[in-house]
């Protein structure tokens, strides 16, 4: 199988590239820089230089591939709407190029935030929520299934953790804690984040590329809900910082995300894809020092 990956040099993309190459598949990855291209090549893939604005290049590579994994997204809050507009436009062009081929197009998304209950694969992203504009991307991906494309979403939890994670939300939280001088939590800290180890996330994406049914929504959730006070306590133990409740405003845009209770289930995904997470838990990775040493 020949797979084209946007975001191939990123955290999840790198793990997926390694998974595919180890299984004997050919990987071509979109690379914005020479450094990104070098990472893709080192992992056994082939790099093509370009970014998410290079629609003609991306459509061409998608057409040549047997399957496409869409993982790239530039998180720029100042231009969030424009970034989503570009992404939706690109997906429409890919849909036109791949119409009727039955090829897989699998994109990363996020698990829904539903205060008061556990989110499932049947729940839709809230357009008015914290990442609301990306609900349009999710809808655009799923709409491809009506065009004879085996499209699917793999929703990622708040924490996709593991050794080497430098840019994920847990890494950002530890960096903020060091600035504040405290291992922070909001309120009583009993709110929960879903989580998954990077190896399990990559394996689910791999399975989705191979055989996810058209229109599938999958949850890459290894842990339904990790209590954030427990996270703060481990960070405190590893860094020597005191664990302390803080006001959301002290964390800027991160405050609402840290304080939200957002558990998520993957029961349907495990049954549909025969996927069973087996990697370390979030607390185990924190205790191993992957985010604090």
Examine the pLDDT at 133 and tell me if it is beyond 70. Answer: no
Mean of the pLDDT values across residues 23-31?
A: 98
C-alpha span between 151 and 215 (Å, rounded) = 6
Residue 130 pLDDT grade (very low, low, confident, very high; cuts 50, 70, 90)? low
Mean of the pLDDT values across residues 240-266?
A: 92
Give, as one character, the DSSP assignment of residue 248.
Answer: G
- How many residues are present in the chain? 293
C-alpha span between 161 and 171 (Å, rounded) = 9
CATH 3.90.25.10 assigned to 166-195+223-287: yes
Mean of the pLDDT values across residues 243-269?
A: 92
Q: List % helix, strand, coil for the chain (3-state, nearest 5).
A: 45, 20, 35
Mean of the pLDDT values across residues 204-229?
A: 98
Examine the pLDDT at 131 and tell me if it is beyond 60. Answer: no
C-alpha span between 213 and 230 (Å, rounded) = 37
The structure's pTM equals 0.94
Region of 7 on the Ramachandran plot (φ > 0 left; ψ -120 to 50 alpha; else beta): left
Alpha carbons within 13 A on the beta-carbon side of 284: 10
Examine the pLDDT at 257 and tell me if it is beyond 70. Answer: yes
C-alpha span between 167 and 75 (Å, rounded) = 11
What are the φ/ψ torsions at residue 252 (nearest 5 degrees)? 60, -135
C-alpha span between 44 and 24 (Å, rounded) = 10
Question: Tell me: the pLDDT tens digits for 48-74?
Answer: 999 999 999 999 999 999 999 999 976
Burial class (CB in 10 A: 0-12, 13-18, 19+), 249: exposed
CA angle 89, 31, 203 (to 5 degrees): 85
Mean of the pLDDT values across residues 261-283?
A: 97
Domain ranges of the chain: 2-158+196-219, 166-195+223-287
CATH number, span 2-158+196-219: 3.40.50.720
Say if 2-158+196-219 and 166-195+223-287 have the same CATH topology: no
Residue 77's pLDDT is 52
Residue 115's pLDDT is 81
């Amino acid at each position: 199988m020949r797979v084209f990956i946007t975001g191939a040099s990123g955290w999840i993309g790198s793990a997926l590239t390694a998974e595919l190459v180890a299984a004997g598949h050919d990987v071509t990855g979109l690379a914005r820089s020479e450094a990104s291209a070098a990472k893709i090549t080192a992992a056994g893939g082939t790099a093509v230089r370009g970014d998410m604005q290079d629609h003609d290049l991306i459509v061409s590579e998608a057409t040549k591939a047997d399957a496409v994994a869409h993982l790239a997204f530039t998180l720029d809050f100042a231009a969030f709407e424009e970034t989503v507009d570009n992404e939706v436009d690109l997906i429409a062009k890919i849909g036109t190029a791949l119409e009727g081929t039955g090829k897989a197009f699998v994109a990363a998304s996020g698990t829904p935030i539903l205060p008061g209950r556990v989110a499932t694969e049947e729940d839709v992203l809230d357009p008015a929520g914290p990442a609301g504009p990306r609900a349009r991307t999710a809808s655009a991906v799923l709409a491809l299934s009506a065009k004879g494309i085996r499209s699917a979403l793999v929703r990622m939890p708040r924490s996709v953790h593991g050794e080497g994670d430098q840019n994920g939300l847990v890494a950002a939280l530890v960096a903020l804690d060091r600035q504040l001088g405290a291992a922070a939590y909001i309120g009583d800290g009993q709110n929960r984040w879903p989580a998954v180890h990077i190896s399990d996330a990559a394996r689910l994406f791999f399975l989705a590329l191979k055989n996810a049914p058209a229109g599938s929504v999958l949850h890459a959730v290894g842990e339904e809900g990790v209590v954030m006070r427990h996270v703060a306590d481990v960070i405190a133990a590893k860094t020597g910082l005191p664990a302390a409740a803080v006001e959301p405003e002290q964390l800027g845009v991160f405050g609402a995300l840290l304080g939200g209770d957002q558990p998520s289930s993957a029961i349907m995904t495990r049954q549909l894809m025969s996927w069973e997470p087996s990697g370390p838990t979030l607390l185990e990775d924190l205790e191993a020092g992957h985010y604090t040493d």
